[in-house]
Chains A and B, each alone.
With several copies, the nearest count.
Chain A
Amino acid sequence: MDGFLSLAASNLGSPLILSFVLGVVAALGRSDLVFPEAAAKALSIYLLFAIGMKGGVSVAEHGIDLRLGTSVLTGVILSAAMPLVAFWLLQIMTRLDRVNAAAVSAHYGSISIVTFVAGTSVLESAGMTSDGFMVAVAAAMEAPAILSALWLISRGGSGATVDADLWREILLNGSIVLLVGAFAIGMIVGKEGMAEIESFFVAPFKGALCLFLLDMGLVAGRGLRRSRDVLTPGLLAFGLLMPLIGGMAGAMGGLLIGLPTGSLFLMMILAASASYIAVPAAMRVAVPEADPGIYLTLSLGITFPFNLTLGLPIYLAIARAISGG
């Protein structure tokens, strides 16, 4: 508990979280502070590329090991299975119809790469390490949840179908391509190749992440202001409970395959976090009937801030406790 409190305090007092809070406060106070769309997109490309490459370099360093395979597999299973849990919970806790419940659950099976990145920087601050291949796990977990959700919907008789085009869009969406591509580049160039470019991709990374989190805070705050009425107590409770359940699922998966503390923590984060970029876009195409006000508010307005502020120290404390790290 003591360890958790000091972790939580140091997390809440980090420039990353404070930048996010500043964004939320500015948006709720209706400041006219905004990030240009192009700048937000450019920052996200930078962050994805950097995190992917770092993962690849680290794998090149330590050699590919069997755990890469088992970890990716575990991630895929988690991503595919968690929507079922989320769907079931939503039917108990809320009055969402089948389509909306399925759409929401797709988000929770998938992942938030920014939460993942914030986790890696918590690890760094704590002087802990993690496996580079967790980036590949992150990429692998983006899509399966979408398919589970679409299956849930089609079982209900609604006509959500996935045509070839949508398949390609889901599997080759920008963030997966960047993560996987940069991961591959990192593996090829290794530590040496990285050395030439690390004053762009490594040193300034955390500061750039501050600005990105400021933007995320602005967007999340604006979303919250606009969608307050959507948030029933049931939905709110789901948005706080589901990440904890996901985190535990991630922990169990990670323990099963013997992940060390740092990677276990990241696996928990992946399972606990909810998508707000790739999945919403897929839902708009495949399930236009589902209300984005619900799934975006939940994943970006509730679960993302929760994970960022309280979730990270909770998951780290748990990861340490159960892995003996």
Chain B
Amino acid sequence: MQTHKAKQVAITIEAPMERRLRAAIEEAGVTGYSILPVLGGSGRSGPWSAEGQVGLAGGMVQVSCIIRPDRLDGLLESVFSVVERHIGVVTVTDCDVLRAERF
């Protein structure tokens, strides 16, 4: 099937920052993204787990955007302004997409 080159940007960020990250993504002109739950993990700030937690403070989410390659820089800059002072991981992966007209 016909596929098209795209980039997948995955941002793992603290849950209380989700709203701001979404705003930043939309500001970069990207309207498509999905949010995946993260159950726990470990990093420089130590291990954590969502289990039994009530507050947002403890948790993280992963925001994944599939974009056209030419939008990458704009998106990363916008995202960076949010994650800059915060913990979190940003990865970019090459991928192919079906139905590229959607992006």
Contact = CB atoms under 8 A, between A and B. Distances in A.
A40 B52 contact: yes
Interface in A222-255: 222, 226-227
B17 interface: yes
B55 A280 contact: yes
Interface string A18-56: 000000000000001011110011001000000000000
B50 interface: yes
A40 B17 contact: no
Interface stretch (A122-130, A202-210, A264-272, A281-289): A281-289
Contact of A288 (B49, B50, B55, B85): B85
A291 B45 contact: yes
Contacts, number: 66
A69 B51 CA distance: 36
B93 interface: no
Given A289-B85, A293-B46, A283 B57 contact: yes
Interface in A273-324: 276-278, 280-285, 288-289, 291-293, 296
Nearest to A220: B52
A226 B87 CA distance: 18
A169 B56 CA distance: 12
Interface string A60-75: 0000000000000000
B5 interface: no
Interface of B: 14, 16-17, 19-20, 45-47, 49-59, 85-87
Interface of A: 32, 34-37, 40-41, 44, 165, 169, 215, 218-219, 222, 226-227, 276-278, 280-285, 288-289, 291-293, 296
